[in-house]
Each structure stands twice: as C-alpha cells, then as structure tokens.
C-alpha cells in the first residue's frame, strides 16, 4: 500500500462515521443527494482514490479512477501531514491544486476541505 493510500485510508476511517451520522433525519436527504462521491489524489510518487458511497461507506483504491468528482494534486511530502493532522495552517500557499469535475464535487469539497486539512 502506498503512502497516499495509507493516508487516505486513515482519513476515510475518521470521515465515515461523521458522514454516516449526517445521513440521518431530514438533512440526510440533502447530504445523500451529493453521494456517491469519488476524489482522486495525485502526487509525484503515487495516486489513490477515495470513494464515499450512498450509504456513507468510505473506500480507498490505488490509482486514479475514471471520472472522479474532484482531483487533488499535491506534493508527496504533504500527503501524510495534511490527511492525518488535518491542519490547514500546514498547507503552503499554492501547494495543493484542486480540480472539481462536477458541481456535486465542488459542493462536497467546499464542505469537507477542512476535515481533510485542505
């Protein structure tokens, strides 16, 4: 498992219960409208993709999937630091390039970016 996959898997374990909790009740139908979501993370040393399904389950796969909702490109040395500490203050300006490919992806990224340290 690559460093990118390991960092994403760690982030997925903490995001999954939060997302599943938000799928409950009336507001859950609003959150559910943004799922499933797939984000691909690319570094100079590897890539992995994070998918959240309609039930809020998070899975990580090696490589970049076809048609992600969001692509995040960042330096390899920041991956673990950002995804495990989730500290936005640790992100140098311009170090992370985010490309939303769908409107759902843009909305989800704007909501979740802080939880991933981006």
Q: At 112, which CATH number?
A: 3.30.1050.10
Q: How far apart are CA 67 and CA 76, in angstroms?
A: 22
Residue-number span of the structural domain to which 9 is assigned: 3-116
The side-by-side arrangement of strands in the sheet containing 46-52 is 58-62, 46-52, 37-43, 70-73, 97-100
Element (H, E) at 98: strand 97-100
Can you say whether the dihedral through the CA atoms of 7, 10, 15, 20 is positive or negative?
positive
Q: How far apart are CA 91 and CA 87, in angstroms?
A: 8
Q: How many domains does the chain have?
A: 1
Q: Residue 6: count other Cβ atoms within 10 Å of its Cβ.
A: 16
What is the full per-residue pLDDT of the chain (118 aa) written as tens digits? Answer: 678 888 888 888 988 998 899 898 888 888 888 899 999 999 888 899 999 999 999 999 999 999 999 999 988 877 777 766 655 566 666 778 899 999 999 988 887 776 666 6
């Amino acid at each position: 498992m690559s460093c990118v996959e390991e960092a994403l898997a760690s982030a997925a374990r903490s995001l999954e219960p939060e997302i599943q909790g938000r799928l409950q009740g009336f507001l859950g139908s609003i959150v559910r409208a943004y799922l499933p979501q797939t984000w691909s993370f690319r570094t100079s040393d590897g890539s992995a993709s994070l998918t959240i399904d309609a039930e809020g389950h998070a899975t990580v796969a090696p490589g970049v999937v076809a048609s992600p909702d969001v692509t995040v490109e960042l330096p390899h040395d920041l991956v673990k630091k950002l995804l495990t500490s989730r500290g936005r203050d640790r992100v140098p300006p311009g170090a992370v390039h985010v490309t939303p490919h769908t409107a759902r992806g843009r909305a989800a990224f704007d909501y979740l970016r802080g939880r991933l340290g981006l």
